[in-house]
Chains A and B, each alone.
Chain A
Amino acid sequence: MTTALEMKKLSLAFGGLKAVTDFSMALPPRGLYGLIGPNGAGKTTVFNLLTGVYVPDVGSVELVGQRIDGKKPSQIARAGMARTFQNIRLFGELSVIDNVRTAAGVRTKSGWARTLLRTPLFVAEERALDERCHELLEIMGITHRQEEQAKSLPYGDQRRLEIARALATEPKVLLLDEPVAGMNTQEKKEMRGLIQKLREQFGVAILLIEHDMGLVMDICEQITVIDHGVTIAVGSPKDIQSDAAVIEAYLGVPDERDTPQPKGSA
């Protein structure tokens, strides 16, 4: 079976700072894997390497058997990788539905000429776009807000919209960067159900960064833990919970003087 996403020995340094060292992972189709680590461990940097924001110094990334490292972010998105952002990056002035339409638009074939002449293909594509985007909003439960400006949405709905927008690009792999950050218990519960539903409904493989351990341990099949850019543990949620290195990274080593060990900030 081919993997949906395969990373081999990814490394990236900013000057002397080794942000990510030898990061490897193989995400199977429809897999749901987690990536955790303390603040500043390099989780988001891994996402940025995968989506082409940064180019790895060493290593390779394959998306469904196709090399994507070194390509532009837009090319990688077209190849089938979509992401959400930890610090939400919606198209604020645009309406909710237009945010999703914009992303779905990458699968259209009409260029400027067809657009300006409104040829039958263009009309058909815009109709398909509309149909699909409405279904997406329905699934994410934000249909009632479709005409509102994205920036005016409450926080939880903005996160939902980010996921809807990512799914609109028809990805094979979905990268979620802290999807439940800042949510209350009820919202978290809904989001958990949603993430599991997405996998079946869209057939995507999901890689999840999350600080909410309850969520990660509950839904992920495999978890990778990194600290200071180095992978310190890989395994099932159960293994991770009892892993000595993980406990050390999160809680520090018991110290005789009993002073807390501050870790680097995010």
Chain B
Amino acid sequence: MKGLQERVAALRPALAPAVGKSLLPFAVAVLLAFVMDKIIGPGVGATWSKILLDVGIAILLAGSLNVINGYAGQFSIGHAGFMLVGGYAAAWLTFYGSVHWFGTKEPVGGFLGNGQLLFLAGCMLAGVIASVFGLVVGLPTLRLRGDYLAIVTLGFGEIVRVLGQITARQPKNVAAIKERTMWDLANNLGGAEGFSQVPGYTTLFFVYLFAFVLLVLVYRLKYSSQGRALLAVRENEIAAEAMGVDTTRVKVVAFVFGAFFAGIGGSLYAHQVGALDPKELGFMKSIDLVIIVVIGGMGSITGVVLGAAILVILPEVFRQFADYRMIAYALALILVMILRPQGIMGVKELWETSLWRRLVAKVKR
């Protein structure tokens, strides 16, 4: 039988359509983000567009956690740590950078103006720094499994939070900031008070741009050899290794990838709230993200999107119950876990369910 590489040459797609297919989803992501920002956002009003922002950020965070927890099966409960690291990196760049280069603490420029470009650079920096931390957290996973790994990731999240709380205070006077270099200000992240006055650059456009790009990437990952290697590690590590999957490398890469987008999520969060409080991004935030992944369905992309939407919107819907809101929320979670212990979607995607197939068949008819 012909080997894999002997077949490859004959199966190469034509270059032009292949490049088109490669880039088209990203173009669609940009377009959809634009639609969210210009049409849907203003259409649903201020309250709901704020909720949509939260949903988008939750999709980004839970979607990236899903690669670690759902695909690779490495149970991590320190995702907020990556978020916090990324948030700090981006806030440092945009807040102090704004003062240094634009002479103001307020957002400057219009759509994709200087201010937003600085913000985009901040998001990228956030991703890169967070993925370096992802590498550091990924390394112990080579030896640890299950509960032990969970404890290490929990410890990581707490360490990052505590380190954030002991950074130096944040100078807020424009003149005082200008006296010092950017590098010199790297430790001035606000300490226990948090990093405040972060310019509010986060819009529906950026949130959904990154969210859609992440979805395209995780979809491509899931249906590829690299992605199946992750799933194999989750399913049976010994067999995966025996089939030539370098399980150590696979696990570390999953952490690096997940942390990158968690960092970006942290940046979007900081520039939306306008402040970065290490107490807010502790253990409870990590657990919130794990809940989204578990409720949605570990390893399911559409499941996580659904989970993020439901878990952000539910508390808003239950607002009328006032004091009983969290009880109603908890009951809803318990109900899901009783009725669908594998999560709403399980390991399947929406288009893999029998309901969807029946719908498609009906529409075709």
Residues of A with Cβ closer than 8 Å to B?
51, 53, 72-74, 77-78, 82-83, 85, 89-94, 98, 101-112, 115-129, 131-132, 135-136, 139, 165-166, 168-170, 201-202
Q: How far is the CA of A120 from the CA of B12 in the complex (A)?
A: 6
Most chain A beta-carbon contacts within 10 A, residue among B8, B227, B246: B8
Q: How far is the CA of A111 from the CA of B229 in the complex (A)?
A: 12
Q: How far is the CA of A201 from the CA of B8 in the complex (A)?
A: 20
| CB closest chain-A residue, reference B22 | A118
Contact with A along B180-205 (1 / 0, CB 8 A): 00000000000000000000000000
Q: Are B242 and A51 in contact (CB under 8 A)?
A: yes
Which of B221, B244, B257, B347 is close to A106, meaning CB atoms less than 8 Å apart? Answer: B244
Q: How far is the CA of A168 from the CA of B9 in the complex (A)?
A: 19
Q: Are A102 and B238 in contact (CB under 8 A)?
A: no
Q: How far is the CA of A53 from the CA of B247 in the complex (A)?
A: 13
Q: Are A91 and B235 in contact (CB under 8 A)?
A: yes
Task: For A105, list chain B residues within 8 Å (CB).
Answer: 225-226, 228-229, 245
Task: For B18, list chain A residues within 8 Å (CB).
Answer: 118-120, 123
Q: Are A107 and B1 in contact (CB under 8 A)?
A: no
Q: Is the interface of A mostly helix, strand, loop or mixed?
A: helix
| Interface positions of B from 1 to 34, Cβ below 8 Å from A | 1-5, 7-9, 11-13, 15, 18-19, 21-22
Q: How far is the CA of A178 from the CA of B8 in the complex (A)?
A: 34
Which of B4, B232, B257 is close to A91, meaning CB atoms less than 8 Å apart? Answer: B232
Task: For B241, list chain A residues within 8 Å (CB).
Answer: 72-74, 77
Task: For A120, list chain B residues within 8 Å (CB).
Answer: 12-13, 15, 18-19
Q: Are A89 and B231 in contact (CB under 8 A)?
A: no
Task: For B226, list chain A residues within 8 Å (CB).
Answer: 105, 110-112, 115
A206 to chain B, nearest CB (A): 15
Which of A78, A123, A126, A131 is close to B225, meaning CB atoms less than 8 Å apart? Answer: A126
Which of B15, B217, B240 is close to A116, meaning CB atoms less than 8 Å apart? Answer: B217
Q: How far is the CA of A125 from the CA of B232 in the complex (A)?
A: 19
The 10 sampled A-B contact pairs (Cβ below 8 Å) are A74-B244, A78-B244, A89-B236, A91-B235, A102-B232, A106-B244, A115-B227, A118-B22, A120-B13, A128-B7
Most chain A beta-carbon contacts within 10 A, residue among B3, B257, B347: B3
Given contacts A106-B243, A108-B225, contact A117 B22 (CB under 8 A): yes
Q: Can you add 13 more A-B contacts, CB < 8 Å, to A72-B241, A101-B228? A: A53-B238, A74-B242, A93-B347, A105-B245, A109-B5, A112-B253, A116-B220, A124-B12, A125-B4, A127-B7, A129-B225, A132-B7, A169-B244
Q: Assess whether B320 is interfacial by the CB under 8 Å rule.
A: no
A174 to chain B, nearest CB (A): 12
Most chain A beta-carbon contacts within 10 A, residue among B4, B11, B238, B242: B242
Q: Assess whether B239 is interfacial by the CB under 8 Å rule.
A: yes
Given contacts A102-B228, A123-B13, A202-B1, contact A89 B238 (CB under 8 A): yes
Q: Are A112 and B243 in contact (CB under 8 A)?
A: no
Q: Assess whether B224 is interfacial by the CB under 8 Å rule.
A: yes
| CB closest chain-A residue, reference B249 | A74
Given contacts A53-B238, A89-B239, A165-B243, contact A102 B4 (CB under 8 A): no
Task: For A121, list chain B residues within 8 Å (CB).
Answer: 8, 12
Q: How far is the CA of A241 from the CA of B159 in the complex (A)?
A: 66
Residues of B with Cβ closer than 8 Å to A?
1-5, 7-9, 11-13, 15, 18-19, 21-22, 217, 220-221, 224-229, 231-232, 234-236, 238-247, 253, 257, 347
Task: For B8, list chain A residues within 8 Å (CB).
Answer: 121, 124-125, 128
Q: How far is the CA of A169 from the CA of B240 in the complex (A)?
A: 11
Q: What number of A-B contacts does a CB cutoff of 8 Å give? A: 153
Q: Are A112 and B257 in contact (CB under 8 A)?
A: yes
Q: How far is the CA of A202 from the CA of B242 in the complex (A)?
A: 19
Q: How far is the CA of A107 from the CA of B241 in the complex (A)?
A: 14
Q: How far is the CA of A202 from the CA of B217 in the complex (A)?
A: 36
Task: For A77, list chain B residues within 8 Å (CB).
Answer: 241-244
| CB closest chain-A residue, reference B235 | A91
| CB closest chain-A residue, reference B224 | A115
Q: Are B4 and A98 in contact (CB under 8 A)?
A: no
Q: How far is the CA of A132 from the CA of B21 in the complex (A)?
A: 24
Task: For B238, list chain A residues within 8 Å (CB).
Answer: 53, 85, 89
Task: For B239, list chain A residues within 8 Å (CB).
Answer: 85, 89-91
Q: Are B225 and A115 in contact (CB under 8 A)?
A: yes
| CB closest chain-A residue, reference B19 | A120
B338 to chain A, nearest CB (A): 21
Nearest 3 Cβ contacts at the A-B interface: A105-B225, A106-B244, A77-B244
A132 to chain B, nearest CB (A): 6
Q: Are B253 and A118 in contact (CB under 8 A)?
A: no
Q: Are B242 and A132 in contact (CB under 8 A)?
A: no
Given contacts A91-B232, A102-B229, A132-B1, contact A74 B7 (CB under 8 A): no
Q: Are A90 and B236 in contact (CB under 8 A)?
A: yes
Q: Are A92 and B236 in contact (CB under 8 A)?
A: yes
Task: For B229, list chain A residues within 8 Å (CB).
Answer: 102, 105
Q: Are A74 and B246 in contact (CB under 8 A)?
A: yes
Task: For B244, list chain A residues within 8 Å (CB).
Answer: 74, 77-78, 103, 106, 169
Q: Are B225 and A101 in contact (CB under 8 A)?
A: yes
A182 to chain B, nearest CB (A): 19
Q: How far is the CA of A93 from the CA of B231 in the complex (A)?
A: 9
Given contacts A105-B225, A120-B15, contact A129 B4 (CB under 8 A): yes
Which of B13, B228, B242, B253 is close to A83, meaning CB atoms less than 8 Å apart? Answer: B242
Which of B5, B22, B235, B246 is close to A94, meaning CB atoms less than 8 Å apart? Answer: B235
Q: Are B245 and A106 in contact (CB under 8 A)?
A: yes
Q: Are B347 and A127 in contact (CB under 8 A)?
A: no
Q: How far is the CA of A125 from the CA of B226 in the complex (A)?
A: 12
| CB closest chain-B residue, reference A165 | B243
Task: For B253, list chain A residues within 8 Å (CB).
Answer: 112
